[in-house]
Amino acid sequence: MTETTGYSGGGFVHIKNPHLDSMEEDILYHLDLGTKTHNLPAMFGDIKFVCVGGSPNRMRAFAQFVQRELGLAGAGEELPDICAGSDRCAMYRAGPGSPSHGMGIPSISIMLHELIKLLHHAKCRDVTIIRIGTSGGLGIEAGSVVITDTAVDSSFQPRFEQVVLGDVVLRSTELDKDLAEELLACSREIADFPTLIGHTMCTYDFYEGQGRLDSALCSFSSEKKLEYLRRAYDAGVRNIEMESTAFAALCGLCGLKAAVVCVALLDRLEGDQIRASHEVLWEYQQRPQRLIAAFIRQRLGLGPKGPTH
Amino acid sequence: MTETTGYSGGGFVHIKNPHLDSMEEDILYHLDLGTKTHNLPAMFGDIKFVCVGGSPNRMRAFAQFVQRELGLAGAGEELPDICAGSDRCAMYRAGPGSPSHGMGIPSISIMLHELIKLLHHAKCRDVTIIRIGTSGGLGIEAGSVVITDTAVDSSFQPRFEQVVLGDVVLRSTELDKDLAEELLACSREIADFPTLIGHTMCTYDFYEGQGRLDSALCSFSSEKKLEYLRRAYDAGVRNIEMESTAFAALCGLCGLKAAVVCVALLDRLEGDQIRASHEVLWEYQQRPQRLIAAFIRQRLGLGPKGPTH
């Protein structure tokens, strides 16, 4: 069974669930928000950009960074975690909303279902959603930023397998091509790191699924690993992470224009362990944030800001 | 391809990876620990019980609770997060170690690979590992505690599909039967909540994969949902969560005696949303902790402790 992507009219988020209308209250459990306990349109109705990422600390830093970059009121102050009552997700607001989703498809999927319902309940329009994160690079320099054109699975196919009541449903993982090109154009403003467009492979784990030799269990040789990673490279894969296919599939079906922008922490053709210092890794992690801040500034007509260090 | 479970001799953790021995240093990236930067045998060599759970707050509370229950030095003091340099995992020590693993199979799989390597590097022996968590119940009262005998997938089969270099490898998800019975016997000490042994279904997401009607996308009727959940019940499933198959498979292959003990936050035959108050949910979440504390007391020969409230 294959489902097709349909962008909806009016710019609203497209909720494909007939049951939601008949619910008296919708509790967004992992966000610790609800339609009866919170005025979601007042809190979130003006949202245009949502950035999601795996790590709560990184998303807090990003919200503070965007607040400074866009010259918003309250810059420099501590930002409250909107989901403070939940330790499953964290969410910060700084113009755009920036929730954290933990690691892996199940974790981002929970957050996205509740986030998309939140945008629906809040009557948001024309929302752009961007996942920023970290990844392993493939044949690219550590520190490079990859803008995903298509998310692919471990067989390099542009599809996501969703289990529904025990049956597998195949979903498309296309992302918005224009948005990817717009982000690439923005990257030219920031000259001190390489940015490229490529396929992103999404796996179900970090060790065996990504062909690492340093797992607790390893049944393959270094040669077999490299042969697999080279096949991925030849199929157009430039980085590997653990959320992009589910993110692309769910956002696409719900009519959200979506992008994935991840920095590569290492080149997997060169090794498996992440050996760079905390300082270097921290600077790498800021690169997607700097690109997205430049993109939002441009969309808001604020113009380039000069060096964004 | 099927792999068999083999418990190793000497009570050591069984690392099935020939590459590890040739590595000069092993960086446990998501735990922010390493073989060169930390004296792992001194820090962890005496560990006998490891409890893992999804939520960092819950694991901190559990470590503090165990410290009180076992009458350990430092009870009542704030416990340091051993993995404070990482915001991917948190780990507390209180006699047993208790790391948090986030939500879902990819997330627990990362933590387990690094935890199992940690136990190996630290030369731990005869380790018992228990996942404590929350779940949706199936035909059981909210607040019931389920001790898993077998973890099953969304087709109710006792198997875990691990992708290795693009190929699917099937792994057994048997858990230690004697340990499950020992835990059930312990539960008789704690009379104020029901505890039972049953199958646990493990899914890749919380919404569509578990047949919830309150997702952002829903393509099935309430009748189809209930038909699926009733089939699961008839196959012996008593609760549903998102980590048990990967946990059982990986612990089994590495020779760790493992158990899964989850409280049911609701009965999924009655509904989808988690509607109980924060206070009620907090008390539910303490139930697996109380059971495990009683179990550890018994194993250590400390005898029952009376009411554990």
Answer whether A308's CB lies under 8 Å from A190's CB. Answer: yes
Q: Do A103 and B105 touch (CB under 8 A)?
A: no
3-state SS, chain B, equals CEECCCCCHHHECCCECCCHHHCCCCEEHHHCEECCCCCHHHHHCCCCEEEEECCHHHHHHHHHHHHHHCCCCCCCCCCCCCCCCCCCCCEEECCCEEEECCCCHHHHHHHHHHHHHHHHHCCCECCEEEEEEEEEECCCCCCCEEEEEEEECCCCCCEEEEEECCEEEEEECECCHHHHHHHHHHHCCCCCCCEEEEEEEECCCCCHHHCCCCCCECCCCHHHHHHHHHHHHHCCEEEEECCHHHHHHHHHHCCCEEEEEEEEEEECCCCCCCCCCHHHHHHHHHHHHHHHHHHHHHHCCCCCCCCCC
Global pTM value: 0.89
Look at A29-38, A230-239, B171-180 and tell me which has the smallest mean pLDDT: A29-38
From CA A308, how far away is CA B24, in angstroms rounded? 38
From CA A250, how far away is CA B217, in angstroms rounded? 8
Write down the pLDDT at residue A308.
45
Alpha-helix residue ranges (DSSP H) falling in chain A? 40-44, 56-69, 105-121, 177-187, 222-234, 244-253, 278-299
Look at A45-49, A137-141, B185-189 and tell me which has the smallest mean pLDDT: A45-49
Q: List chain B residues with CB under 8 Å of A23.
A: 214
Q: Which domains does chain A have, with CATH numbers?
A: 24-126 (no CATH), 132-302 (3.40.50.1580)
Q: Do A87 and B162 touch (CB under 8 A)?
A: no
Choose among A58, A216, A274: nearest Cβ to B27.
Answer: A274
The answer to whether residue A215 neighbours chain B at the CB level (below 8 Å) is yes
Q: List chain B residues with CB under 8 Å of A241.
A: none
From CA A259, how far away is CA A176, in angstroms rounded? 7
Q: List chain B residues with CB under 8 Å of A19.
A: 213-214, 218, 222
Q: Is the pLDDT of residue B98 over 70?
A: no
From CA B215, how far away is CA A28, in angstroms rounded? 10
What pLDDT, in 10s, does the model give residues B213-259? 999 999 999 999 999 999 999 999 999 999 999 999 999 999 999 99
Write down the pLDDT at residue B249.
97
Bigger pLDDT: B161 or B69? B161
Report the residue of A115, A156, A205, A212 to disrupt the B interface, i.e. the one with the largest count of B CBs within 10 Å: A205
What pLDDT, in 10s, does the model give residues A242-290? 999 999 999 999 999 999 999 999 999 999 999 899 999 999 999 999 9
CA distance B109 to chain A (A): 7
Q: List chain A residues with CB under 8 Å of B87.
A: 55-58
Residues 6+ apart with CB under 8 A from B158: B150, B151, B152, B172, B173, B174
Write down the pLDDT at residue B194.
97
What pLDDT, in 10s, does the model give residues A73-130? 666 677 778 777 777 777 777 655 567 778 899 999 999 999 999 999 999 999 999 9
ipTM of the complex as predicted: 0.87
Q: Is the pLDDT of residue A220 over 70?
A: yes
Token reading at B66: 């165990």
From CA B263, how far away is CA A126, in angstroms rounded? 41
Answer whether B266's CB lies under 8 Å from B136's CB. Answer: yes
Buried b vs exposed e over A173-200: b needs ≥16 C-beta within 10 Å? bebbeebbebbbebbebbeebebebbbb
In chain A, whose CA is at the least distance from the CA of B152?
A166
From CA A260, how far away is CA A87, in angstroms rounded? 24
CA distance B13 to chain A (A): 10
Q: CA B214, B218, B221, B226 torsion: positive or negative?
A: negative
Look up residue A9 and give its DSSP letter. Answer: G
Q: Which of residues 245-284 of A touch B (CB under 8 A)?
A: 250, 253-254, 273-275, 278
Residues 6+ apart with CB under 8 A from B6: B14, B253, B255
Q: Which of residues 117-156 of B touch A (CB under 8 A)?
A: 117, 120, 154-155
From CA B88, how far away is CA A55, in angstroms rounded? 7
Closest C-alpha to A82, from A130, A34, A12 = A34
End-to-end CA distance of chain B: 48
| C-alpha torsion angle, residues A281, A283, A286, A290 (rounded to 10) | -150
Q: Is the pLDDT of residue B179 over 90?
A: yes
Q: Is the pLDDT of residue B189 over 70?
A: yes
Write down the pLDDT at residue B305.
64
The answer to whether residue A113 neighbours chain B at the CB level (below 8 Å) is yes
Q: CA B70, B76, B81, B82 torsion: positive or negative?
A: negative
Look up residue A111 and give its DSSP letter. Answer: H
From CA B277, how far away is CA B284, in angstroms rounded? 11
* Region B30-59 average pLDDT: 89
Residue showing tokens 């992440």: A274
What pLDDT, in 10s, does the model give residues B17-31? 999 988 999 999 999
Alpha-helix residue ranges (DSSP H) falling in A1-152? 40-44, 56-69, 105-121
Look at A165-169, B182-186, B283-287, B303-307 and tell me which has the smallest mean pLDDT: B303-307
